[in-house]
Chain A
Amino acid sequence: MDILSHALGALSPMNLGLALLGVAAGIVIGALPGLSATMAVAVLVPVTFGMSPESALIMLGAIYTGAIYGGSYSAILVNTPGTPSAIATTFDGFPMAKRGDGDLAVTLSTLASVVGGLVGVLALLTLAPLLAQVALSFGPVEYFWLAIFGLTLISALSEGSTLKGFMGAGFGLLLSTVGVAVVGGDIRYTFGSQVLLGGIETVSALIGLYCIPVLIDLVATPESHLKVSEEPRGIRLREGLKHAWIGKLNLLRSATIGTGVAILPGAGGSIASLVSYSEARRAAKDSSSFGKGNPQGVLATEAANNATVGGGFIPTLVLGIPGTPPDAVILGALLVQGFRTGPELFTTNASITYTFVAGLFIATCLLLPLGLLIGRYAFKFIITIPKALLVPTIAFMTVIGTYAIRNSVSDVIIMLTLGVVGWLLNRYGFKPSPIVLGLILGPIAEQGFVQGFLMGRASGSYATMFFGGPISLTIIALSILSVFYPVIKARRAQRRHNNGTDDPRQEASS
């Protein structure tokens, strides 16, 4: 009853207005390549200092929810994930848009984000203290294996050859080591250049590797980059709901995975969406259609990445350990407002905490009308804008977005260089996702690996350190399974084919 009365505090006109504004601002910022959810929250934190603690937290939560969802727009419409957690959305979202189903993909992404967000919020409300304990059982070695699991998943999921995926992921990991070492402080692979001392900025690399190849191919041909339907079809909500109903298990499973992964600090939405995408593909009857515009792929990734919003707040609020980078910014705002994280947030400060959780719930619900409305216009804008305007507009966003991260022209040059390298590699069958994920997960993997190495040296057994824990062994087993599952599946299909059922010959496992 107390929870209900606290939650009703979020329903004041002021708080509702702030949630609406926050979601809309978050969607727009998240949709622009280069402006991540972290940046959206960080930039708008000072705006909330003059507000009451409840209103401030509701607005920040709404911005975060909107930004994570907004990242799917650019992933679907221009093959550039607005935020790293939308990487896997490009796999099926962009092929859908290319064949003229971009409007449906945006609607699916909205529906999935709402379901995922609600599951995350529900977990935050009911299971927070219990789930937070799970996060504490992960040590550096477990984080190392988790990062490797993410990379094996993306290598195996990449269209074409798994070995190319591994080479790409390795290249991304090597790029992440450029600059000053996370442990030890060595200066590595800078070749004497001052510019490379600060390392390769992840978001610049993400923009370069995804956006520049799209631009290079856009100017090369006169045809429109997305197929345009001849008759207006609106937001295709009924069709979207039908797909969501068919994929209801996929939605719930992905949202649960998203919540589960988000409670592990640092793992974030990119791993969550990849794991759920992999699970959706594994469980599907027509797994070969994934990566070619399967609506279930969009549902899986978007449900997972929005579930990370609520899930990420679990360790943030209960343990004071931010689950994701935007959580770290919100944690800072919490401290400024005079909070102390920990169990007392659910007792002494219960009124504010439950109002905040209710605010997140409302913000997630607001995603539905706002997302469908903004999505419709975003899609119309992208398909009706002539190429002579679309190319400079996207180019403008890439340059200003990259520059804004560290106010550095060098980052723009690095972004362009990586873009050209990414285009060349893409042409030869190396997809950008493993490279980008390698770059994102590199520091987590290295820190875990080096700390594990030091602990192994101190304890006298590297093997026990890296292969001794049950969590590590489980993640290793999952990683091995993710690599060999396509081979096993292809073999089984081959056997069926030999028995005269269907054609299994595919290069998925090569």
Chain B
Amino acid sequence: MSKALPKLQASCSARSEFLLPLLFIGIGGVCLWQSQDMSQLGAIFPVTIAIVVIVAGLLRLVQLLVRGVSSNTERDTGSTPKRVLLVVVMTAWALVMPWAGFLLAGLASFVSLMMVAQYQSWTTRRLIGHLVTGAVLVAFFYGLFALLLNVPLPVGRWWT
């Protein structure tokens, strides 16, 4: 005698649980479409994998429809602006690095990220302590990579 299976627990909202398999099916579809321009040898592997991804996505949709899904109400929350700021600062860092050079871009980004990650109020002592530690860390990594490991870090097009 079989009992009804319990509902699946979504990682986020129930709607997103349906959207993500659709996204993967879409990715698989794009890969299949793009493979039309490839040679047989070049296309055979991505085509096979794209079909597997599409089948897995469809099976997940069927599973969700058959068993049902409940939203996850206990999912983690947090500050979205801080998350966005982190990504923006890191992207700007990568884009500015060839122009401003590794040291300047690194120091500026280090300080910016310090500000983004700080929740307590700043005291003069804390600020100076953090800035000095930041400068020492940047110098350490610069020494390790540029001097010891001979990685050619960008000097900066603005200065050459």
A445 to B44, CA, bound (A): 12
* Minimal Cβ-Cβ distance residue in A for B93: A399
Contact A450 B53 (CB under 8 A): no
* Minimal Cβ-Cβ distance residue in A for B50: A174
A388 to B128, CA, bound (A): 13
* Minimal Cβ-Cβ distance residue in B for A220: B78
Supplied contacts A166-B56, A181-B38, A449-B44, 8 more A-B pairs, CB within 8 Å:
A171-B27, A188-B34, A389-B114, A399-B94, A416-B90, A427-B75, A429-B12, A449-B48
* Minimal Cβ-Cβ distance residue in B for A164: B60
Contact A160 B11 (CB under 8 A): yes
Using an 8 Å CB-CB cutoff, how does the interface string of B77-119 with A read, 1 for contact, 0 for none? 0111011011100110111011000100010011101111111
26 A-B pairs with CB atoms under 8 Å apart are: A163-B59, A164-B60, A166-B53, A167-B21, A170-B28, A174-B50, A177-B46, A183-B41, A186-B42, A216-B83, A218-B117, A219-B86, A219-B116, A221-B79, A389-B130, A389-B133, A391-B86, A392-B111, A396-B137, A400-B106, A404-B151, A430-B20, A449-B44, A453-B44, A454-B41, A507-B9
Contact B113 A395 (CB under 8 A): yes
Stretch of A309-317, A362-370, A405-413 lying at the B interface: A405-413
A391 to B102, CA, bound (A): 18
Question: In the complex, which range does the number of interface residues on chain B fall in?
Answer: 35 or more
Contact A174 B49 (CB under 8 A): yes
Min CB distance A510 to B, Å, is 6
Contact B117 A390 (CB under 8 A): yes
Contact A505 B6 (CB under 8 A): yes
**Also in contact, A404 and B145, with CB within 8 A (given A217-B78, A399-B90, A510-B63):** yes
* Minimal Cβ-Cβ distance residue in A for B48: A449
Min CB distance B150 to A, Å, is 8
Min CB distance A380 to B, Å, is 16
Q: Choose among B38, B46, B90 the residue that contacts A174 (Cβ–Cβ < 8 A).
A: B46
A221 to B76, CA, bound (A): 10
Tell me which residues across on chain A come within 8 A of B42, comparing CB atoms: 181, 183-186, 188
Tell me which residues across on chain A come within 8 A of B158, comparing CB atoms: none
Identify which of B27, B90, B97 gathers the most chain A CB atoms within 10 Å of its CB.
B90
A78 at the B interface (CB under 8 A): no
Using an 8 Å CB-CB cutoff, how does the interface string of A158-172 with B read, 1 for contact, 0 for none? 001101101100110
* Minimal Cβ-Cβ distance residue in A for B58: A163
B123 at the A interface (CB under 8 A): no
Contact A391 B117 (CB under 8 A): yes
* Minimal Cβ-Cβ distance residue in B for A385: B133
Interface residues of B in 120-160 (CB under 8 A from A): 120, 130, 133-134, 137-138, 141, 145, 149, 151-154
Contact A416 B117 (CB under 8 A): no
A43 at the B interface (CB under 8 A): yes
**Also in contact, A221 and B8, with CB within 8 A (given A163-B56, A404-B149, A412-B94):** no
Contact B24 A216 (CB under 8 A): no
Contact A163 B114 (CB under 8 A): no
* Minimal Cβ-Cβ distance residue in B for A453: B44
Min CB distance B72 to A, Å, is 9
**Also in contact, A446 and B45, with CB within 8 A (given A188-B34, A221-B78):** yes
Contact B116 A391 (CB under 8 A): yes
Tell me which residues across on chain B come within 8 A of A485, comparing CB atoms: none
A183 to B91, CA, bound (A): 34
Q: Choose among A181, A396, A400, A428 the residue that contacts B12 (Cβ–Cβ < 8 A).
A: A428
Identify which of B57, B79, B87 gathers the most chain A CB atoms within 10 Å of its CB.
B87
Tell me which residues across on chain A come within 8 A of B46, comparing CB atoms: 174, 177, 188-189
* Minimal Cβ-Cβ distance residue in A for B78: A220
Main secondary structure on A side of the interface with B: helix
Contact B86 A216 (CB under 8 A): yes
**Also in contact, A387 and B118, with CB within 8 A (given A167-B56, A181-B41, A184-B41):** yes
Tell me which residues across on chain A come within 8 A of B53, comparing CB atoms: 166-167, 170-171, 174
Give B contacts to A, CB under 8 Å: 6, 8-12, 16-17, 20-21, 24, 27-28, 31, 34-35, 38-39, 41-46, 48-50, 52-53, 56-57, 59-60, 63, 67, 75-76, 78-80, 82-83, 85-87, 90-91, 93-95, 97-98, 102, 106, 109-111, 113-120, 130, 133-134, 137-138, 141, 145, 149, 151-154
Contact A174 B118 (CB under 8 A): no
A393 at the B interface (CB under 8 A): yes
Min CB distance B32 to A, Å, is 11
Q: Choose among B8, B38, B86, B141 the residue that contacts A397 (Cβ–Cβ < 8 A).
A: B141
A392 to B39, CA, bound (A): 45
Interface residues of A in 141-191 (CB under 8 A from B): 160-161, 163-164, 166-167, 170-171, 173-174, 177, 181, 183-186, 188-189
Tell me which residues across on chain A come within 8 A of B98, comparing CB atoms: 409
Tell me which residues across on chain A come within 8 A of B10, comparing CB atoms: 429
A420 at the B interface (CB under 8 A): yes
Contact A393 B137 (CB under 8 A): yes
Min CB distance A38 to B, Å, is 13
Contact A428 B59 (CB under 8 A): no
A470 at the B interface (CB under 8 A): no
A413 to B95, CA, bound (A): 8
* Minimal Cβ-Cβ distance residue in B for A184: B41
Contact B41 A173 (CB under 8 A): no
A510 to B60, CA, bound (A): 9
Contact B50 A220 (CB under 8 A): no
A404 to B17, CA, bound (A): 38
Interface residues of A in 373-402 (CB under 8 A from B): 386-393, 395-397, 399-400
Contact A188 B38 (CB under 8 A): yes
Min CB distance B146 to A, Å, is 10
